[in-house]
Chains A and B, each alone.
Chain A
């Protein structure tokens, strides 16, 4: 449920952009980047900060390239997954911040909550990898349907463990 809401709230303009990958919309994306790209940007920014101002230009270009590539090639469904992953990262970061700031007293609860987000994140990433057309060659045995079924089963197992562990 959560990812859908998030997607609906976070970027109402996302569908429009994906259907018409034109330069203007890419420019528009620069103003309101979709969540996943935000992650990429967030990760790159500290690295970029390390570079001196001369490298600043190239970093801008790299970020720009990644962004356009993302917007141009990613299908709509995958973006949905990306949104969900971004949501998970946000939740995970929130939990971690809480743990650092307010202490980890019910450590069980923190661990299961945190690993639920991390686990769900990697599962979703796996699903995303398996369903991307570019990776078809890597997974001869896994059809998209099969990938989704696996995803559901794994998520069920994951959440069973989390609920059991949370106390």
Chain B
């Protein structure tokens, strides 16, 4: 026993093999048992040893176990499964977890969703931040501001040496001048870099999500690229407006397509193979970069402070009011038109300031381009004459105004008439008459101006009165005669609707039915322009203070633009540039005031005046001409600048948020959030268009409301009856009539127009608000405008004047094709009697509508799109009503002829 008296050390055990260990274990166990006997027999001395032995046994067992496990591990090393007790224990949760490869496994559907709707990347933000703060930074460090004293200007970038005024004065004047030049060139380069960054930010912030939107434009561009310009000009499109077709070349503004086409061919010529689709998608962001630059140029004309220009460019680049129409993939006329608008205004101001024909001609060319691109060109056509008129009324007629205006008008009008869609309008419609009137008026003024220089003032006055009276009378007479004789068309309806917001609703429902033609709600201003909207009046006020010709322009534009933006949501777009410019002027004036570092001392300014070159002396004069009062405390300045900085930051955040949330969601795909916060994509539109494309004949005519015309034409590639180009009101009204009448009336209409399928949008299941039932009243109104005695809006309301779809809906409503198509079979989704329209929160009648002339062809996953097939004529020559009734099992009662009492036949 003495042999094993010592404690066992685990370290010694490791070297032993299995047999030795077992032997030792057995020995230890016997020893233990003996000790236990001893313990009972006699109270031995070595009782404490029991403890040691037990521990030793445990050690041996541990080592044996460990060795065994190590052996087993070796044995199982390359096997597929490991015994359970050899596996790592960890926790139950970890053991139950999916393996990494299982966890990373994705459904096919998910995979597709990820590729099509990837997580949005917000890397744009830093870029915008940089751009926002670079101008401010640079202003501080390089003295971009003119308000900064001459001292700063002259030292330029060597500022950190802090040279005293005396030192610079003693320096060689030549050297000083050189340093000024150097500073200027540096600033020039910086300005270019900042502008480039801003343009970059403008582009980047529009790339949140991409879906090519007005499909028609894309289709037209493809046609242009494929067939060349001349064919495009004469393009007759028989795939739309069936059976009329559309003379596309003559009824669209070709600027957008031609621009894309030119870019495409230019890139091709440079051997850069690029798809026309990519050009179309990226056109709007690219042009928004240009818009930012144009805003910079225009603002620079307003104020000598170049920081204002940079700020204006920045605001223009990221203001949501403009982003709303220029995100990537929004391939609409506005994409390039806003750039042209701002650029035309810039050229106009330039022409006016210099009185140069060349600038006037450039302005006219830019105007011509604008006319080619967007119907909103009338805005320029009215604004420029108005500006000229206001100038004249203020007694500011100048020969420069004459040169600029007449050059612009003569060339611009001719340029605008080159577009087939515009054609003779500039000489025939009243919208263009103010421009012509001011043109004539300027001729008279120029003549009077000449006469005034020729004769004494007494004579001139009598001359003037008679002359002016006579011309005015003759002019008015001429205008009245021309208008009444029909040479000049009266104001068009669209124009009236700008003055009287209720006009369109009554007279031209097709205009009022478009949501972006509605009057703007107040929050929209803040939503689209954020802090700019309250800086805007400040900027206008500052313009009032200077009130040179170009400031008058800003004031006029501001008034005009604000009014129109209030009338129509869509015209917010034309207001945005002037808001950006005015706000930039306001902000830069503030910064100029609070960022100048030094308080000017009299001797300093005197010294600099003496030594400085022309330019610096001028600005020093400017800064000293005002009395030496102002904010010079560092604390106040930093407070103010800090606050402004915070506002700018918030503005950037707001813009990014608005852009990513409100304006980047494609209209074709709806995104919603599930309760757990994940995104759920509702892709019914594309599903339905795909179905049309694959399951219908190539030339199957689809009837739908005009909102979906472009999409059907583009995505499903099927001819449509009406589309978003609303050139033919009657045809649209025909569709409206077919939708709003009962089947007996609609069926002949659909047969006449060879309709094969009817497509309706129904949001009742999902609670989607943009569906056809909600638009239905507009269809009724438009149809009523043409057939007042067949369609009557009143009859679609209940007797209490409510628009309902539930059991109490009016009979006309229930019988209308639209109602039937929307709710056909809808009941079957619910338990009997519990069908609910979730959009309108209405409980539907127990028995759903029945259709006899149409049959359901397709209903999309969420019931958003429902497509019906128009039945062909019945084989047996019955009418559809009776045929359907027969199918339902109601046998037609035979008109049993009432037979008289039987009579015995004689003869």
Contact = CB atoms under 8 A, between A and B. Distances in A.
| A and B interact physically | yes
Interface of A: 40, 43-44, 46-48, 50-51, 55, 58, 61-62, 65-66, 69-70, 107, 111-112, 115, 118-119, 122-123, 125-127, 129-130, 134-135, 138-139, 141-142, 146-147, 149-151, 153-154, 157-158, 161-162, 164-165
Contact of B414 (A135, A138, A165): A165
A119 B463 CA distance: 28
A134 B414 contact: no
A150 B358 contact: yes
Contacts, number: 123
A123 B364 CA distance: 13
Contact of A126 (B357, B414, B424, B456): B357
A141 B451 contact: no
A44 B354 CA distance: 32
A69 B413 CA distance: 35
B359 to A, nearest CB: 9
Interface stretch (B209-217, B397-405, B575-583, B662-670): B397-405
Interface in B348-366: 354-358, 360-361, 364-365
B641 interface: no
Interface residues of B, number: 40
A36 to B, nearest CB: 10
B407 A154 contact: yes
Contacts of B414: 112, 115, 119, 158, 161-162, 165
Given A130-B403, A138-B398, A122 B356 contact: no
B829 interface: no
Contacts of A149: 358
B357 A65 contact: no
B454 A125 contact: no
B410 interface: yes
Contacts of B360: 154
Contacts of B466: 47-48, 50-51
Contacts of B4: none
B632 to A, nearest CB: 37
Given A65-B454, A69-B454, A150-B361, A47 B470 contact: yes
Given A46-B470, A62-B455, A153-B361, A115 B355 contact: no
B32 interface: no
Contacts of A139: 354-356, 399-400
A142 B354 contact: yes
B470 A70 contact: no
Contact of B410 (A44, A51, A119, A153): A119
Contacts of B463: 44, 47, 62
A130 B355 contact: yes
Contact of B418 (A48, A58, A154, A164): A164
Contact of A66 (B365, B410, B455, B462): B455
Max chain B C-beta neighbours (<10 A), residue from A47, A48, A153, A162: A47
Interface in B416-435: 417-418, 424, 427
B8 interface: no
Interface string B457-468: 001001100110
B292 to A, nearest CB: 27
A154 B358 contact: yes
A2 to B, nearest CB: 19
Contacts of B403: 126, 129-130
Contacts of A134: 453
A61 B424 CA distance: 44
A51 B465 CA distance: 11
Nearest to B465: A47
A157 B361 contact: yes
B129 to A, nearest CB: 40
A149 B357 CA distance: 9
A157 B411 contact: yes
Contacts of A141: 354-356
14 contacts: A66-B451, A107-B424, A111-B427, A112-B414, A118-B410, A122-B406, A123-B406, A123-B410, A129-B403, A138-B400, A139-B400, A142-B356, A157-B411, A158-B410
Interface in B442-460: 443, 446-447, 451, 453-456, 459
B361 A165 contact: no
A149 B361 CA distance: 12
B361 A50 contact: no
B410 A129 contact: no
B749 interface: no
Contacts of A127: 357
Max chain A C-beta neighbours (<10 A), residue from B354, B358, B398: B358
B465 to A, nearest CB: 10
B276 interface: no
A123 B355 contact: no
